[in-house]
A and B are shown apart, each in its own frame.
Chain A
Amino acid sequence: MAEAKPILMPKFGQTVEEATIVKWHKAVGDEVSKGDVLFEIETDKAVLESESFVDGTILKVLAGEGDTVQVQTPVAFIGAPGDDIPEVNAPPPPKPKAAEKSAAAPAAAAASAPLAATAAPTSVAVAQPVPAVPAAPTRRAISPRARSLARRKLIRTNSITGSGPSGRVTEKDVVAYLDANDYDSIHISPSAKKLAQKEELDIIEVRNRSGVLRLKIDDIRQAVLEKPNPMSKMRRVIAQRLTESFRDVPHFYVATEVDMTDLLAYRKQLKDSGTAFTVTDFIMEAVILTLKEFDVVNSSTDGTSVWWHSKVNLGLAVSIKNGLVVPVIRNAEDLTMSELHDVASELATKAREGKLTPDEMTGGTFTISNMGMLGVNDFNAIINPGEAAILAVASTKDKPVARDGKVVVRSMMNLRLSVDHRIVDGAVGAAFVNSVKDKLEDLELWKSSM
């Protein structure tokens, strides 16, 4: 018999060490062909699909949905039905108790079915799952009778004070808690009760919030909607990084207004002659040129040291369904404007399709956040950790402005730079935005570079 092939958790990038399986597209027994999507994973950077590199049948799945697994470790085995599943070096069994239990499994089954052999904890557990939610709250000491009563009464026990040894919650404590909360006054329709049970709601909480005499199914549905939901891994990473940046980096903002009238006309002219650039392309190019003039804006600091980056790795914030990603254009200063256009649009497409690799999202040295399509006048962007600045691009709007002592209507766009004030001084920031502005308003520059 041939040996089944392991499917490894792929290594998506240099910095990714583990990933969470969010969805399996195939189950044990399913036939797969090369290129079929096996499962979806979520790293701290993105949700990605993992495809099969072989044809065969899924023989065993080692890591289920929600499990977090080290990269390059097996998560499943594929082969022909009846293939041997190889034994893999395993970490020590998690609990002696579990090992005993498996050892007690009928020996006959293990001998006749090769699959059963892998059920022993010593032969698998390669994809040692780590709990998806970090730092689960410590388990409460509670007596079985107390827990069963709480479950029957549809209440949670975390706000009950335990009177037993080392604060153990006893049945008496639950009864006292029910009395103190006027539990007997709660009336609930049977359907509502069933739903509350299923959704593990605390009906004292629901009663306190809704304040009705008899909880009906709509009250419970309301409470279900208001239930806290865990954030996706990506959202948690976004939250953590933005908090870190906003808390630890002293942001300084400086803004200017750019007259885009001539450039927009020139862009249209180019477009009509067959060369289509986006407004973002011009802004990226202007920013890259300006970064070469202001080294400090293209640097990083940890508060004690400064790193000067010789290359411009330009990040471009792209809003996607359920979040935001920042693909990075590496060595952007080496690209011609049309190369820049191509790379940027390719990365943006991959971002929207969720196909960016982690390497395509790391290593940025400066970021542009363009909300021009969203009808905003002005906004403050938060600096990406590890960078010294970010440029916020607002919408271009027709406005009355003064030109040569007369009021004329021009297409104006606001640029607002956020800088890490620890390393970038206000005057430098001001000079930077104005230099970007000057370039965008200088038609000769663009004509000469085309």
Chain B
Amino acid sequence: MEKFDVAVIGAGPGGYPAAIRCAQLGKKVAIVEREFLGGTCLNVGCIPTKTLIASAELYQAISNASEMGLKVQGVEADYAAVTARKEQVVGQLTGGVRQLLKANKVTVLSGAAAFIDRKTLAITANDEASEKIHIQADKVIIATGSTSAMPGFIPKDERIVDSRAFLDMTELPTSLTVLGGGYIGCELACMAASFGVKVTIVELLDDVLLLLDKDIRAAVKKHMTEKLGIELMTGEAMSEVAVNDKGVAAKVGESTVESDILLVSVGRRPVTDGLELNNAGIEVNENGFIGVDDRNCTKVAGIYAIGDVNGIMMLAHAATSQGICAADDACGLRPDGNESIIPGVIFTSPEVALAGITEAEAKEKGLDVTTGKYYFRGLGKALASGEIEGFVKLITDSETDQLLGAQVVGPHATDLISEAVLAIRSELTAEELGQTIHAHPTFAEIWMEAAHAVHGKSIHLPPRRR
């Protein structure tokens, strides 16, 4: 039986960085992957979605090219070609991961891992011909991720898809119902609507994208409904889903919604099936997650759980950060613990991003906060680029001027947020963010203006009425 210092189960955005970090620190590392290197993120999540969205946005931009003084005729979306490009991008990235693992001398084992005891794993290869092998490892990092949750009342049919099956479609439907107004549902809804699909979003809660502040949400919803023609049905439960030759009919409240395809995106659940966690003495909580402490240690010494499977924050970049933290800890370094400022990025149209606390959270916690807002339409670069929708909002501690949160809705929101993350993590004050010189003319100037606006001193805003 081959022995390793560290074994990582799952080669997603949490697992493969953890494996590489352990290898960098001189450990002998194995990584076990039962499906595809890169995990959900690279293969059936973040990357393919963004590839499709990039095509959708370009299609929209070309359709509106006349506003920029360009005459374009005959633009046509070839969705099969769009998805082929997606396959190519995914292929390139997963190939890259394989090469990186190889370059770092990480042993890649294809198959499903199961605990024999807390230091021994049985690997069942995917092709049934191969024999089951056993490996031993001093430390084990569980990074098995999550999968789409499917409510029990939804029938099984090829017209009913989860996000993964939706991405595999090589043809867009003419109409689409999206069950669940979370960020995955809204992103795919915007993408499809950009290509001309008639989209209806059904959300049980009072609003879509509830993690955002109301003013930010309002800006996204305005674009989604008015520019993309998406219909939002919120505060209504879906029931009785029926499928026939023509499509899917779902009862929503009192009315019936019919469409070619029903996309179900009501959340994700952790993947622990087949791991035989009980052989290692690990228990999952009532939602199926593996509980961990601030350094991602499970209750069993030497076993870590990172990423979606521990339920702290189901985002790829959170998994990467936790993976590196767990790897450092497994290799005997003493990391400070998980990062607390985790940005969230939503590739709707327009894009949205947030970091730190929201204004609503601050109110809930009874914090005394001040906000500063600035709109893209007040920026030279935004006007020049013809991208003037949206705004940013900074949330600061009224007592110390400390930046506590930031949200952006508008062009390049998902890239712009990084500056705010750095500022919040570094405990910068709004004053200092405002003092920092931002190159002109750029979209990033908006942070400087918003930081000044916190103190009512934005140069490019009329004085506040007193």
Measured CB to CB, the closest approach of chain B to A331, in angstroms, equals: 52
**Does the CB pair A195–B399 fall under 8 Å?**
yes
Measured CB to CB, the closest approach of chain B to A213, in angstroms, equals: 11
Measured CB to CB, the closest approach of chain A to B402, in angstroms, equals: 3
Contacts of A152 in B (CB 8 A): none
Q: Mark A204-234, 1 if CB is under 8 A from B, else 0.
A: 0000000000001100000000000000000
Bound form: Cα–Cα A191–B400 in Å:
6
**Does the CB pair A195–B426 fall under 8 Å?**
no
Contacts of B397 in A (CB 8 A): 191
Contacts of A217 in B (CB 8 A): 400, 402, 427
Measured CB to CB, the closest approach of chain B to A187, in angstroms, equals: 11
Q: A192 an interface residue at 8 Å Cβ cutoff? A: yes
Contacts of A198 in B (CB 8 A): 399-400
Bound form: Cα–Cα A191–B403 in Å:
8
Q: Mark A181-214, 1 if CB is under 8 A from B, else 0.
A: 0000000011110110010000000000000000
Q: Mark B357-400, 1 if CB is under 8 A from A, else 0.
A: 00000000000000000000000000000000000000001011
Q: B432 an interface residue at 8 Å Cβ cutoff? A: yes
Q: Mark B397-409, 1 if CB is under 8 A from A, else 0.
A: 1011111000000
Near A by CB (< 8 A), chain B positions 100-117 give none
Bound form: Cα–Cα A217–B428 in Å:
10
Q: B63 an interface residue at 8 Å Cβ cutoff? A: no
Measured CB to CB, the closest approach of chain A to B138, in angstroms, equals: 30
**Does the CB pair B400–A216 fall under 8 Å?**
no
**Does the CB pair B399–A190 fall under 8 Å?**
no
* A-B CB contacts (within 8 Å), total count: 31
Size of chain B's interface in residues, with CB distance under 8 A? 11
Q: B51 an interface residue at 8 Å Cβ cutoff? A: no
Contacts of A189 in B (CB 8 A): 426-428
Measured CB to CB, the closest approach of chain A to B427, in angstroms, equals: 3
Bound form: Cα–Cα A217–B400 in Å:
9
Measured CB to CB, the closest approach of chain A to B448, in angstroms, equals: 15
Q: Mark B412-436, 1 if CB is under 8 A from A, else 0.
A: 0000000000000011110010000
Bound form: Cα–Cα A216–B429 in Å:
12
Q: Mark B134-148, 1 if CB is under 8 A from A, else 0.
A: 000000000000000
Bound form: Cα–Cα A192–B401 in Å:
10
Contacts of A191 in B (CB 8 A): 397, 400-403, 427-429
Task: With CB as the reference atom, state the residue of chain B lying closest to A195.
Answer: B400
Task: With CB as the reference atom, state the residue of chain A lying closest to B432.
Answer: A190
Measured CB to CB, the closest approach of chain A to B39, in angstroms, equals: 33
Contacts of A194 in B (CB 8 A): 400-402, 429
Task: With CB as the reference atom, state the residue of chain B lying closest to A196.
Answer: B400
Measured CB to CB, the closest approach of chain A to B422, in angstroms, equals: 12
Contacts of A195 in B (CB 8 A): 399-400, 402
Task: With CB as the reference atom, state the residue of chain A lying closest to B425.
Answer: A189
Bound form: Cα–Cα A395–B401 in Å:
52
Bound form: Cα–Cα A189–B427 in Å:
6
Task: With CB as the reference atom, state the residue of chain B lying closest to A192.
Answer: B427
Bound form: Cα–Cα A296–B427 in Å:
68
**Does the CB pair A216–B399 fall under 8 Å?**
no
Near A by CB (< 8 A), chain B positions 342-356 give none
Near A by CB (< 8 A), chain B positions 267-314 give none
Task: With CB as the reference atom, state the residue of chain B lying closest to A191.
Answer: B402
Measured CB to CB, the closest approach of chain A to B278, in angstroms, equals: 39
Interface centre among A189, A190, A194, by most chain B C-beta atoms within 10 angstroms, is A190
Task: With CB as the reference atom, state the residue of chain B lying closest to A197.
Answer: B400
Measured CB to CB, the closest approach of chain B to A212, in angstroms, equals: 11
Task: With CB as the reference atom, state the residue of chain B lying closest to A221.
Answer: B400
Contacts of B400 in A (CB 8 A): 191, 194-195, 198, 217
Bound form: Cα–Cα A216–B397 in Å:
15
Measured CB to CB, the closest approach of chain B to A124, in angstroms, equals: 34
Contacts of B401 in A (CB 8 A): 191, 194
Task: With CB as the reference atom, state the residue of chain B lying closest to A218.
Answer: B427
Bound form: Cα–Cα A12–B432 in Å:
53
Near B by CB (< 8 A), chain A positions 158-194 give 189-192, 194
Interface centre among A191, A194, A216, by most chain B C-beta atoms within 10 angstroms, is A191
Measured CB to CB, the closest approach of chain A to B420, in angstroms, equals: 14
Measured CB to CB, the closest approach of chain A to B429, in angstroms, equals: 5
Measured CB to CB, the closest approach of chain A to B240, in angstroms, equals: 52
Bound form: Cα–Cα A194–B429 in Å:
8
Contacts of B402 in A (CB 8 A): 190-191, 194-195, 217
Interface centre among B402, B403, B427, B432, by most chain A C-beta atoms within 10 angstroms, is B427
Contacts of B403 in A (CB 8 A): 191
Task: With CB as the reference atom, state the residue of chain A lying closest to B402.
Answer: A191
Task: With CB as the reference atom, state the residue of chain A lying closest to B427.
Answer: A189
Q: Mark B425-463, 1 if CB is under 8 A from A, else 0.
A: 011110010000000000000000000000000000000
Task: With CB as the reference atom, state the residue of chain B lying closest to A194.
Answer: B400
Bound form: Cα–Cα A189–B403 in Å:
12
Task: With CB as the reference atom, state the residue of chain A lying closest to B423.
Answer: A190
Measured CB to CB, the closest approach of chain B to A97, in angstroms, equals: 36
Measured CB to CB, the closest approach of chain A to B220, in angstroms, equals: 30
Bound form: Cα–Cα A198–B400 in Å:
8
Bound form: Cα–Cα A198–B397 in Å:
14
Contacts of B399 in A (CB 8 A): 195, 198
Bound form: Cα–Cα A194–B397 in Å:
11
Near B by CB (< 8 A), chain A positions 295-350 give none
Bound form: Cα–Cα A195–B427 in Å:
11
Contacts of A190 in B (CB 8 A): 402, 426-429, 432
Measured CB to CB, the closest approach of chain A to B334, in angstroms, equals: 14
Measured CB to CB, the closest approach of chain B to A219, in angstroms, equals: 11
Measured CB to CB, the closest approach of chain B to A198, in angstroms, equals: 7
Interface centre among A189, A192, A194, A216, by most chain B C-beta atoms within 10 angstroms, is A194
Task: With CB as the reference atom, state the residue of chain A lying closest to B433.
Answer: A190
Contacts of A216 in B (CB 8 A): 427
Q: Mark B187-210, 1 if CB is under 8 A from A, else 0.
A: 000000000000000000000000
Bound form: Cα–Cα A191–B401 in Å:
7
Task: With CB as the reference atom, state the residue of chain B lying closest to A188.
Answer: B427
Bound form: Cα–Cα A217–B426 in Å:
10
Contacts of B429 in A (CB 8 A): 190-191, 194
Bound form: Cα–Cα A277–B179 in Å:
70
Measured CB to CB, the closest approach of chain B to A344, in angstroms, equals: 41
Bound form: Cα–Cα A194–B433 in Å:
14
Measured CB to CB, the closest approach of chain B to A2, in angstroms, equals: 36
Near B by CB (< 8 A), chain A positions 123-155 give none
Task: With CB as the reference atom, state the residue of chain B lying closest to A215.
Answer: B427
Bound form: Cα–Cα A194–B400 in Å:
6
Bound form: Cα–Cα A190–B423 in Å:
10
Bound form: Cα–Cα A124–B400 in Å:
39
Task: With CB as the reference atom, state the residue of chain A lying closest to B429.
Answer: A190
Bound form: Cα–Cα A216–B427 in Å:
7
Bound form: Cα–Cα A192–B432 in Å:
13
Bound form: Cα–Cα A36–B427 in Å:
46
Bound form: Cα–Cα A23–B428 in Å:
36
Contacts of B426 in A (CB 8 A): 189-190
Measured CB to CB, the closest approach of chain B to A162, in angstroms, equals: 33
Measured CB to CB, the closest approach of chain B to A99, in angstroms, equals: 38
Interface centre among B399, B400, B429, by most chain A C-beta atoms within 10 angstroms, is B400
Bound form: Cα–Cα A69–B432 in Å:
45
Measured CB to CB, the closest approach of chain B to A86, in angstroms, equals: 38
Measured CB to CB, the closest approach of chain B to A211, in angstroms, equals: 15
| Sample of 14 further A-B pairs with CB below 8 A, known A191-B402, A194-B400 | A189-B426, A189-B428, A191-B401, A191-B403, A191-B427, A192-B427, A194-B401, A194-B402, A194-B429, A195-B402, A198-B400, A216-B427, A217-B402, A217-B427
A-B contact pairs, 15 of them (CB 8 A): A190-B428, A190-B429, A190-B432, A191-B400, A191-B401, A191-B403, A191-B427, A191-B428, A194-B400, A194-B429, A195-B399, A195-B400, A195-B402, A198-B400, A217-B402
Nearest first, the 9 closest Cβ-Cβ pairs linking A and B are: A189-B427, A191-B402, A191-B427, A195-B400, A194-B400, A190-B429, A190-B432, A191-B400, A190-B428
